[in-house]
């Protein structure tokens, strides 16, 4: 390795080391609030991109499930109509059918038959599809030999299913290929990317991305802090939409999947400066590596088509993890409502009977990606003394709190209506607690107190969270309390799993018995 390569290797290692430090301590510029918002042109582009798009990973996963269920239905239909009443029990054959379908999908996955290029051009990869289907039958036939295959699944039925399944796979894949091309043209199935940094490096990157034969990347625009002399207003046909600070606001108006930094690894200080501003966004952040002379091991890279990228940050709880978490939320929220409705009904009656005003109190709070959401609670204050902005935190023996309100706040019963927020989709059962928009500590907003505060919003906020079950709940009357709460929230985001959610959910009722900090 020559001197230049050693220097680039050192820079890359140094960037990765400091990125790790950013995750831990946050960053001064991380909240990325721009008092001027974004310029009119960038806002116009954002409005055009407001229509939702589907992640390719989700679409492919849905198609994989469709193929499994279709092959299973086809096999069971052939079994049902082709099996005599005196044959081997139908249930045994159905089990074999399910196993064979699962095996076929596994072989198709191993053969990379669910990659976008394969699905887009099935005529070029028919050998993978048909080979996987035949291989699944061969393995199952061999496995059934010791059990006398004819007594479980006749050769005639296996042959019929083999031919029918192959025909289905061919027809389905050609139709799906047409659908993919149609969705790609209409922007339904795409990954939206923003290029950071202009000039010649950005031009080379855009050209490399556009030359990919099966490109699912849509470049939304370019953001760069440099002036027109070093960064033209138009690069390879794409406009410069604003500065990096404006990018943070832009990414909150429209769903962006990926930020690609088109700077050389040697620009270490500038890259770190950018990351300190951008890591709070719930997106993938990549460093384009196509123009770097130094090449690392293949496992060091991810790829957009054939364009190599170095992974800096990954979006948390992405694609099917998000689907699994949503199913988790809906299931346990409905279960909680079934179990807790008598308590909620009693609380509603008590609130209404003991003070004037509505039963429910609605407050604006920060949600996913810093959006403003309305959160439901049982009203715990006198209506004429309520504080929707939460600028003045509730304190011990606060005269604004009703006697019933004091009890339901202590026991967190006032938070139970947020189960409806979970079902509506703007809250999760487990996640960082949503704070009121104007919440402050000693007249300073939390973002001014805590470096990297807005990184809490890379996932949906939750009804309960890792910080709460570790004792960081209730009044925030010191800077340290919001700092510790944020630290626990960031730990949760970096270490999320369904088992972690289940652990927090299980511990919540027990930890709520400690009401020391709840007023």
Is residue 516 in a domain?
A: no
Query: pLDDT at position 440, please?
Result: 67
Boundary-marking domain end, from 185, 205, 227: 185
Contact 1, 9 (CB under 8 A): yes
Task: Tell me which residue of 51, 32, 43, 33 sits closest to 239, measured CA to CA.
Answer: 43
Is there a single domain that holds both residue 362 and residue 227? no
Strand partners, 258: 193, 284
> What gap in Å lies between CA 148 and CA 136, rounded to an integer?
18
Is there a single domain that holds both residue 408 and residue 467? yes
Whether the pLDDT of residue 37 is over 80: the answer is no
Is there a single domain that holds both residue 358 and residue 249? no
Query: pLDDT at position 117, please?
Result: 80
| Confidence class for position 34, pLDDT limits 50, 70, 90 | very low
Q: Give percent helix, percent strand, percent coil of the chain, each to the nearest 5.
A: 55, 15, 30
> What gap in Å lies between CA 36 and CA 233, rounded to an integer?
20
Is there a single domain that holds both residue 177 and residue 221? no
Instruction: Kindly state the percentage of the chain with pLDDT values over 90.
Output: 21
Residues for the chain: how many in total? Answer: 519
Mean per-residue pLDDT, 388-396: 67
Query: pLDDT at position 344, please?
Result: 92
How far is the CA of 182 from the CAs of 178, 187, 190, 212, 513, in angstroms?
A: 6, 9, 11, 18, 55
Whether the pLDDT of residue 214 is over 60: the answer is yes
Is residue 517 in a domain?
A: no
Boundary-marking domain end, from 168, 185, 202: 185
Mean per-residue pLDDT, 477-505: 88
> 9-13, 264-268, 442-446: which has the minimum mean pLDDT?
9-13
| Confidence class for position 33, pLDDT limits 50, 70, 90 | very low
Contact 412, 512 (CB under 8 A): yes
Whether the pLDDT of residue 291 is over 60: the answer is no
For the sheet with 301-304, list strands across it.
234-235, 238-242, 217-223, 191-196, 258-261, 284-288, 307-313, 301-304
Whether the pLDDT of residue 222 is over 70: the answer is yes
Is residue 518 in a domain?
A: no
Count of other CB atoms within 10 angstroms of residue 169: 22
> What gap in Å lies between CA 60 and CA 95, rounded to an integer?
26
Is there a single domain that holds both residue 287 and residue 159? no
Is there a single domain that holds both residue 296 and residue 404? no
Whether the pLDDT of residue 386 is over 50: the answer is yes
Query: pLDDT at position 205, please?
Result: 85
> What gap in Å lies between CA 104 and CA 74, rounded to an integer?
14
φ/ψ of residue 132, rounded to 5: -65, -40
Is residue 471 in a domain?
A: yes
DSSP reduced 3-state for 514: coil
Query: pLDDT at position 412, please?
Result: 85
Instruction: Kindly state the percentage of the chain with pLDDT values over 70.
Output: 80
How far is the CA of 443 from the CAs of 11, 448, 477, in angstroms?
A: 40, 10, 11
Domain residues for the domain of 464 are 320-511
Mean per-residue pLDDT, 356-377: 87
Is there a single domain that holds both residue 141 and residue 241? no
The CATH number covering residue 311 comes to: 3.40.50.20
* CA neighbours closer than 13 Å in the CB half-sphere of residue 176: 26
pLDDT digits (tens, 9 = 90+) for 131-185: 999 998 888 878 777 766 556 666 777 788 889 999 999 999 999 988 887 777 7
φ/ψ of residue 489, rounded to 5: -65, -45
Query: pLDDT at position 116, please?
Result: 81
Q: What is the mean pLDDT of the chain?
A: 80
> What gap in Å lies between CA 277 and CA 491, rounded to an integer?
19
Is there a single domain that holds both residue 47 and residue 61? no
Whether the pLDDT of residue 19 is over 70: the answer is no
Is residue 370 in a domain?
A: yes
> 336-340, 439-443, 473-477, 513-517: which has the minimum mean pLDDT?
513-517
Is residue 41 in a domain?
A: yes
Contact 394, 401 (CB under 8 A): yes
Whether the pLDDT of residue 32 is over 50: the answer is no
Contact 15, 268 (CB under 8 A): yes
Tokens of residue 305, six digits: 């088509």
Is there a single domain that holds both residue 250 and residue 122? no
| Confidence class for position 340, pLDDT limits 50, 70, 90 | very high
Is there a single domain that holds both residue 149 and residue 243? no
Is there a single domain that holds both residue 357 and residue 469? yes
> What gap in Å lies between CA 12 and CA 15, rounded to an integer?
5
- Region at 320 (left for phi over 0; alpha for psi -120 to 50; beta for the rest): alpha
Is residue 519 in a domain?
A: no
Is residue 474 in a domain?
A: yes
Q: Where are the alpha helices (DSSP H) in 317-433?
A: 319-354, 403-410, 418-424
Is there a single domain that holds both residue 17 and residue 123? no
Mean per-residue pLDDT, 81-96: 65
Domain total of the chain? 3
Mean per-residue pLDDT, 408-431: 91
Query: pLDDT at position 26, please?
Result: 43
pLDDT digits (tens, 9 = 90+) for 105-125: 999 999 888 888 888 888 888
Whether the pLDDT of residue 474 is over 70: the answer is no
Boundary-marking domain end, from 162, 185, 208: 185
């Amino acid at each position: 390795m020559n001197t230049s390569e050693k220097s680039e290797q050192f820079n890359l290692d140094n960037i990765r080391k400091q990125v790790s430090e950013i995750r831990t301590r946050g960053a001064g510029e991380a909240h990325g609030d721009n008092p001027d918002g974004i310029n009119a042109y960038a806002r116009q582009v954002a409005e055009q991109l407001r229509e939702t798009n589907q992640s390719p990973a989700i679409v492919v996963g849905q198609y994989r499930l469709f193929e499994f269920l279709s092959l299973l239905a086809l096999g069971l239909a052939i079994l049902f109509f082709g099996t005599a009443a005196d044959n081997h029990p139908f249930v045994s054959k159905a089990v074999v059918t399910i196993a064979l379908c699962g095996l076929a999908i596994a072989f198709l996955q191993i053969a990379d038959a669910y990659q976008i290029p394969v699905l887009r051009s099935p005529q070029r990869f028919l050998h993978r599809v048909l080979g996987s289907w035949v291989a699944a039958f061969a393995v199952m036939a061999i496995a059934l030999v010791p059990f006398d295959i004819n007594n479980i699944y006749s050769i005639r039925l296996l042959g019929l299913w083999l031919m029918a399944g192959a025909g289905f796979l061919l027809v389905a894949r050609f139709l799906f290929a047409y659908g993919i091309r149609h969705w790609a043209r209409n922007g339904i199935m795409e990954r939206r990317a923003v290029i950071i940094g202009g000039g010649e490096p950005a031009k080379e990157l855009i050209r490399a991305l556009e030359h990919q034969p099966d490109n699912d990347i849509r470049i939304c625009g370019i953001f760069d802090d440099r002036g027109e002399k070093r960064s033209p207003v138009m690069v390879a046909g794409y406009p410069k939409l604003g500065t990096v600070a404006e990018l943070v606001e832009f990414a909150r108006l429209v769903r962006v999947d990926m930020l690609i930094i088109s700077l050389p690894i040697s620009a270490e200080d500038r890259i770190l400066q950018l990351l300190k501003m951008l890591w709070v966004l719930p997106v993938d952040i990549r460093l384009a590596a196509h123009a770097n002379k130094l090449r690392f091991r293949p496992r060091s890279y991810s790829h957009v088509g054939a364009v190599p990228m170095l992974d800096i940050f990954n979006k948390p709880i992405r694609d099917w993890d998000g689907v699994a978490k949503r199913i988790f939320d809906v299931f346990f929220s409905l279960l909680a409502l079934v179990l807790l409705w008598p308590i909620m009904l009693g609380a509603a009656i008590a609130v209404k009977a003991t003070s004037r005003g509505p039963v429910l109190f609605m407050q604006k709070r920060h949600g996913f990606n810093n959006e403003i959401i309305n959160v439901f609670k049982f009203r715990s204050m006198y209506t004429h003394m309520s504080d929707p902005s939460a600028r003045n935190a509730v304190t011990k023996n606060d005269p604004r709190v009703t006697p019933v309100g004091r009890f339901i706040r202590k026991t967190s019963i006032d938070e139970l209506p947020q189960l409806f927020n979970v079902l509506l989709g703007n809250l999760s059962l487990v996640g960082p607690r949503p704070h009121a928009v104007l919440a402050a500590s000693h007249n300073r907003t939390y973002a001014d107190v805590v470096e990297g505060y807005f990184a809490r919003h890379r996932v949906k906020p939750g009804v309960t969270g890792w910080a709460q079950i570790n004792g960081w709940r209730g009044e925030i009357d010191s800077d340290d309390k919001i700092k510790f709460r944020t630290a626990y929230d960031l730990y949760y985001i970096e270490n999320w799993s369904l088992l972690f959610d289940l652990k927090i959910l299980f511990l919540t009722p027990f930890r709520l018995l400690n009401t020391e900090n709840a007023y």
